[in-house]
Structure 1
């Protein structure tokens, strides 16, 4: 469970780093966010963590580790998540996606040298999405209220339940000792924060009310992942504003 939660903890704390209550804060209230006053307070707490620790660590990681090595690390982490994606694909009845995920894991674990290289994408087998919050949605469970979790950041009631359950769905997590899961989660969180340095800064500088804009971006991204929109929802770990001019993000290989 720690492996799944900590990267989101680290990313969400970084999201909190830029919170501001611009003049439009009260007008930005959403019917799906009945806990907005409390959520804003939680975001204020999260921002101190990022300012003091997470962003500086991510910047140091970028400076110390070449891009080629960072991509290899990211590929390994992505490959280790494939069994969890497979399990959720099956639970959702997406058997074709489950087959694609199986092929990705096989090719990347063998030809890709334990996941260092994303050869599956080169072979035309794109990465699928799959988490337990998505599974609960496919079973008919409503979103519930928007939540800004302490440190863990943007979520909703359903996806918070899914976040915990995902920790038990990946057999790779069962095979690793506690320290191994903590180390893997820590590296994944730092890498995720490093990918989002510029995008978070841009979202911050372009928002009159960062809390409301972050909520909107997160909800749009989640809608894409759930298939509610025409977007694919691919690579949603990298935060980008769907309302902004698209930018080109090189695919990891």
Structure 2
């Protein structure tokens, strides 16, 4: 059994952890949400790298044999810095999502030559161009669409009641229409933010209403699959009792509340940790 460290600037990475728990249930997990220093997207690349490296080092100090950078911004802008600083295997969220899109394209009748991918992501992730580079390297054409309103809607819980859901559906409709104007023949939709898996049912409804079916790639699922493959390839880690430890750098009460919704199960008490400025 391994100790797997999972890092995000906030809560979204819990969707990756949720998938990991299904694929590798007997591992020990240590999750860190760097809530004191979010949002990462408004910071410079140098600052993001500094924050991400300090968080990765913290998880390594907690005994992590393998690190999952379950944050699209940190993956896009700081993955090389993290790998240089921490001597354990590291998996980000961009490459697994891109490879899952490739698998979907190969399986489709359009193939890689005829497939077009729309990536829904935050502004910081789209500005980095990380998904475009990863998808283009695999022979896939893509359009990245920034969706800055989606994370706040998810964190406010506007996914369930009729009134709130109608607002979220309208926001999704507008974003998807704008993306489809740029890529009208798109047949693959990649969720490039770890908050977005919670929106998947509403996205499916929106695509149905737009009469534009697409295969949806959940980067949280893709990342968990990549981690599971790596964990098996790298052999056994230290023998530990399966458990889950959660740390946050601020707002542990909010983390406890939102985290339970993201993970879809109650969290144990969240521990507060100070990683500095």
Q: Please, what TM-score do these two structures have when normalized by structure 1?
A: 0.26
Higher helix share: 1
Higher relative contact order (CA 8 A, sep 6+): 1
Q: Please, what TM-score do these two structures have when normalized by structure 2?
A: 0.25
